[in-house]
């Protein structure tokens, strides 16, 4: 089988599958270079006797603003404790605390939107702790072949090969080192490719978050859902050299206050939960105040807490900020919102299966119904790990039901040449991310979305012509995928005639109760995305 992506979802799936199953894992860069590595906050799970599964479900539904699927929410929340225990058995170094009786227990923190302390974390670098642990384990698996610096170009389906039935039977893959495309056959293919936040100019995500899995699944015939809901993290460091450094939600969870340039605290004016309100509310409040004041950034201040408390809870953030010239134990941190998490994605069942037999999607690339119109903090790694577990059960039970892949045609380069105009890719990449930020960002209007749609269609046409005439490169593959996903995001946003969660439009500023529990679903062939 073939797993495309090497984050927490893909690696934990591979570790849970039967050892007799031969597995290939593709990674666009080094095995650890994905969004999982940069997840700071933690994993939400009910582990405290003062907490309850019902409370975690309710908090998730509240954050989802009427669009979360209650069945999906309960399915994932109920499996959270087992997920944490599975990680602990594999020696993920979670932070601990001493109880009153002297015993050592997991340290639980609280983040925005949560009614209890239920965030299991490894200091302020949980994603790194999980990812590096899983990578160490996967490198010792005899049944796993790792292909770093390989990027999938497109999925191969039997329908594309002219067969009457349709199932996924592999992918065309570009070896970035050899600059050669190969056909890779597989009985089962899993997309674990992450999100698409690189479609925006400012993002907390690494460079690889280019929506590859969403775009490939769409071209293969899968539905996508709720792509208008892209979460903007309220607090990324504002610094010309920082690029995408996130200031964890947990900083506000441990008492951090958001301030205007004059030092005034403003969040209580927007929500009774103040800094602990869900991310969409906090991000819109920051965006509003920045526009009102004409300010390039606002500030996050936790310097009122003891220095030892700050450095012990946030050692990674503290050290990184010192490199940029800020001491969070003594002064406020300049912050701006940035695109952070793709709440929609490829429409899947709760075992990760898609509309195309033999194709699965897990993690941020997938839409399960958990997040609804907004993601509750630290539910993302949880979803990755739970869906990996449920997908492993389904794949283990059905893998042998699929015949071996048919003979796959080789990649055809007979009518293409090497490009002598790389500037086309660079220019279109920049233009796409600028217009998505300007017109499809935190606050939208019909006019802005119409402008974005016209530009997206023009760019997709240019990129497709370029794709058809020149040899593919990693940059071209990512640009093509970003353009596809940009079109899907814009179309989804235009269809939602209300404001809800992460989708806020000045033309329809109120939530429409008739749209509760109704996701925005796009179907291939009904929209030329």
Cα 241 to chain centroid distance, Å, stands at: 23
User: Within this chain, do residues 204 and 244 fall inside the same structural domain, yes or no?
Assistant: no
DSSP of 324-381? TT--TTTS-EEEEEEEEEE--EEE--TT-B-SSTTEEE-GGGEE-SSSTTSPPTT-HH
User: Within this chain, do residues 265 and 307 fall inside the same structural domain, yes or no?
Assistant: yes
Of 31-40, 114-123, 314-323, 382-391, which gets the smallest average pLDDT?
31-40
User: Within this chain, do residues 223 and 237 fall inside the same structural domain, yes or no?
Assistant: no
Domain endpoint, select from 339, 357, 381: 339
Tell me which of 167, 187, 257, 279 is the catalytic residue: 279
CATH of the domain at 485: 1.20.58.100
pLDDT, mean of residues 27-54: 90
Residue 91 maps to a domain: no
Residue 6 maps to a domain: yes
Instruction: Judge whether residue 9 has pLDDT over 90.
Output: yes
Confidence (pLDDT) at 100: 76
User: Within this chain, do residues 129 and 205 fall inside the same structural domain, yes or no?
Assistant: yes
User: Within this chain, do residues 131 and 204 fall inside the same structural domain, yes or no?
Assistant: yes
Instruction: Judge whether residue 26 has pLDDT over 80.
Output: yes
Tell me which residue range forms the domain holding 8: 1-39+124-229+343-407
Residue 314 maps to a domain: yes
Confidence (pLDDT) at 249: 83
Phi-psi region of 510 (alpha: psi -120 to 50; beta: other; left: phi over 0): beta
* Token digits of residue 96: 């601990």
User: Within this chain, do residues 271 and 289 fall inside the same structural domain, yes or no?
Assistant: yes
Confidence (pLDDT) at 529: 54
Q: 115 vs 45, 58, 97, 380, CA distance in Å?
A: 12, 9, 20, 17
Confidence (pLDDT) at 279: 80
Closest listed residue to residue 36, CA positions, set 335, 372, 364: 364
Residue 333 maps to a domain: yes
DSSP of 234-301? EEEE--TTTSS-B--HHHHHTT-EEE-TTS-B-GGGT-TTGGGS-HHHHHHHHHHHHHHHT-S-EEEE
User: Within this chain, do residues 399 and 449 fall inside the same structural domain, yes or no?
Assistant: no
Q: How many CA within 13 A on the CB side of residue 287?
A: 20
List, for residues 357-375, the tens digit of each pLDDT value: 999 999 999 999 999 999 9
* Token digits of residue 399: 């893998």
List, for residues 182-216, the tens digit of each pLDDT value: 999 999 999 999 999 999 988 888 889 999 999 99
Domain count, the chain: 3
Q: Provide the percentage of residues in the chain whose pLDDT is more than 90.
A: 80
User: Within this chain, do residues 211 and 193 fall inside the same structural domain, yes or no?
Assistant: yes
Residue 324 maps to a domain: yes
C-alpha angle 511-370-453 in degrees, rounded to nearest 5: 55
pLDDT, mean of residues 253-276: 96
* Token digits of residue 6: 């090497």
User: Within this chain, do residues 507 and 432 fall inside the same structural domain, yes or no?
Assistant: yes
Domain endpoint, select from 321, 339, 357: 339
Most confident range (mean pLDDT) of 79-83, 281-285, 470-474 is: 79-83
User: Within this chain, do residues 262 and 143 fall inside the same structural domain, yes or no?
Assistant: no
CATH of the domain at 238: 3.90.700.10
Residue 51 maps to a domain: no
Confidence (pLDDT) at 351: 98
pLDDT, mean of residues 232-258: 88
pLDDT, mean of residues 296-301: 95
Instruction: Judge whether residue 457 has pLDDT over 90.
Output: yes
Cα–Cα distance measured from residue 56 to residue 54, given in angstroms and rounded to the nearest whole number: 5
Q: Is 90 exposed, middle or buried (0-12, 13-18, 19+ CB in 10 A)?
A: middle
Confidence (pLDDT) at 528: 56
Q: Give phi and psi for 21, each to the nearest 5.
A: -85, 125
Residue 523 maps to a domain: no
Q: Which residues pair with 224 in a beta bridge?
A: 346, 522
> What average pLDDT does the chain have?
93
Domain endpoint, select from 281, 315, 339: 339
Cα–Cα distance measured from residue 442 to residue 260, given in angstroms and rounded to the nearest whole number: 19
CATH of the domain at 347: 3.50.50.60
* Token digits of residue 503: 């989708």
279 is catalytic: yes
Confidence (pLDDT) at 397: 95
Please report where in the chains the tokens 């490829």 appear, as a residue.
346
Confidence (pLDDT) at 401: 85
User: Within this chain, do residues 320 and 289 fall inside the same structural domain, yes or no?
Assistant: yes
Q: 155 vs 9, 104, 198, 356, CA distance in Å?
A: 19, 48, 21, 11
pLDDT greater at residue 131 or residue 112: 131
List, for residues 401-438, the tens digit of each pLDDT value: 888 999 999 998 877 777 766 778 888 999 999 999 88
List, for residues 65-101, the tens digit of each pLDDT value: 999 999 999 999 999 999 999 999 999 999 998 877 7
Residue 160 maps to a domain: yes
Confidence (pLDDT) at 415: 77
User: Within this chain, do residues 209 and 191 fall inside the same structural domain, yes or no?
Assistant: yes
């Amino acid at each position: 089988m073939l797993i495309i992506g090497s984050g927490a979802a893909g690696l934990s799936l591979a570790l849970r599958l039967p050892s007799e199953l031969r597995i290939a894992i593709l990674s666009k860069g080094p095995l650890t270079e994905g969004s999982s590595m940069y997840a700071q906050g933690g994993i939400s799970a009910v582990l405290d006797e003062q907490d309850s599964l019902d409370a975690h479900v309710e908090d998730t539904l509240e954050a989802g603003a009427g669009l979360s699927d209650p069945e999906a929410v309960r399915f994932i929340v109920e499996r959270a404790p087992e997920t944490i225990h599975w990680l602990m058995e594999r020696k993920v170094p979670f932070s601990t605390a001493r109880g009153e009786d002297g015993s050592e227990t997991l340290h639980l923190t609280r983040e925005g939107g949560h009614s209890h302390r239920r965030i299991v974390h490894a200091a302020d670098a949980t994603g790194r702790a999980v990812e590096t642990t899983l990578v160490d384990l996967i490198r010792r698996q005899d049944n796993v072949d790792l292909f770093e610096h390989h990027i999938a170009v497109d999925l191969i389906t039997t329908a594309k090969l002219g067969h009457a039935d349709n199932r996924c039977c592999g992918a065309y893959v570009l070896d970035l080192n050899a600059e050669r495309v190969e056909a890779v056959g597989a009985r089962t293919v899993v997309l674990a490719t992450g999100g698409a936040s690189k479609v925006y100019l400012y993002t907390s995500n690494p460079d690889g978050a280019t929506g590859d899995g969403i775009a490939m699944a769409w071209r293969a015939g899968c539905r996508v859902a709720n792509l208008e809901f892209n979460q903007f993290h309220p607090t990324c460091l504002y610094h010309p050299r920082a690029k995408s450094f996130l200031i964890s939600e947990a900083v506000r969870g441990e008492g951090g206050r958001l301030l205007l340039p004059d030092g005034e605290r403003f969040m209580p004016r927007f929500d009774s939960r103040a800094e602990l309100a869900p991310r969409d509310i906090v991000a819109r409040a920051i965006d509003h105040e920045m526009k009102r004041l004409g300010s390039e950034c606002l500030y996050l201040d936790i310097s009122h807490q003891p220095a030892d408390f700050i450095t012990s809870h946030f050692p990674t953030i503290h050290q990184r900020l010192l490199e940029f010239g800020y001491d969070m134990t003594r002064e406020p941190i300049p912050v701006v919102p940035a695109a952070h998490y793709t709440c929609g994605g490829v429409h899947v069942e709760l075992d990760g299966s898609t509309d195309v037999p033999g194709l699965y999607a897990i993690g941020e690339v997938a839409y399960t119904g958990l997040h609804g119109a907004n993601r509750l903090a630290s539910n993302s790694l949880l979803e990755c790990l739970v869906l990996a577990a449920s997908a492993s059960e389904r794949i283990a039970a059905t893998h042998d039901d699929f015949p071996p892949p048919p003979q796959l045609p080789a990649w055809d380069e007979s009518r293409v040449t090497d490009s002598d105009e790389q500037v086309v890719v660079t220019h279109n990449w920049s233009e796409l991310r600028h217009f998505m930020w300007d017109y499809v960002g935190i606050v939208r209007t019909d006019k802005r979305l119409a402008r974005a749609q016209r530009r997206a269609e023009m760019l997709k046409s240019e990129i497709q012509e370029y794709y058809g005439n020149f040899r593919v490169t990693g940059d071209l593959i990512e640009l093509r995928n970003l353009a596809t996903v940009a079109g899907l995001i814009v179309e989804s946003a235009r269809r939602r005639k209300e404001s809800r969660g992460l989708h806020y439009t000045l033309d329809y500023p109120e939530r429409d109760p008739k749209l509760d529990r109704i996701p925005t679903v796009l179907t291939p062939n009904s929209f030329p995305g």
